[in-house]
């Protein structure tokens, strides 16, 4: 979000900043195997409902989530690592 959007938000809290029982509390980072980004620059109210549903499914699907130790941050973004995971799942 840009600065204007952040200032206009009704919900400003970020769960990750609470440090209560999340992956980062235990020195892990959550990454996704298949990309979850919306790749759209429009207000959520303007987005097709089906796009939002598909985004939510990709974001929350347990088989699309991989935990990476915080010490190895960035590993989850490396194509070789992600491809290895995909090969092992096949």
pLDDT digits (tens, 9 = 90+) for 56-90: 999 999 999 999 999 998 898 899 999 999 898 87
Predicted model pTM? 0.67
Q: Which residues pair with 79 in a beta bridge?
A: none
Question: If you average pLDDT over every residue of the chain, what do you get?
Answer: 84
* CA dihedral (32, 41, 16, 50) positive or negative: negative
Q: CB atoms < 10 A from the CB of 29, how many?
A: 17
Which of 1-5, 27-31, 39-43, 61-65 bottoms out in mean pLDDT, i.e. has the lowest? 1-5
Q: Reply yes or no on whether the pLDDT at 11 is more than 80.
A: no
Q: Are 36 and 55 in contact (CB under 8 A)?
A: yes
Question: In this predicted structure, what is the pLDDT of residue 15?
Answer: 55
């Amino acid at each position: 979000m840009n600065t204007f959007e952040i200032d206009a938000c009704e919900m400003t809290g970020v769960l990750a900043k609470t440090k209560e029982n999340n992956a980062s509390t235990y020195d892990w980072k959550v990454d996704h195997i298949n990309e979850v980004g919306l790749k759209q620059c429009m207000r959520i109210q303007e987005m097709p409902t089906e796009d939002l549903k598909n985004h939510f499914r990709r974001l929350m699907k347990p088989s699309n989530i991989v935990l990476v130790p915080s010490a190895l941050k960035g590993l989850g973004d490396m194509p070789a690592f992600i491809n290895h995971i995909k090969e092992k799942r096949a």
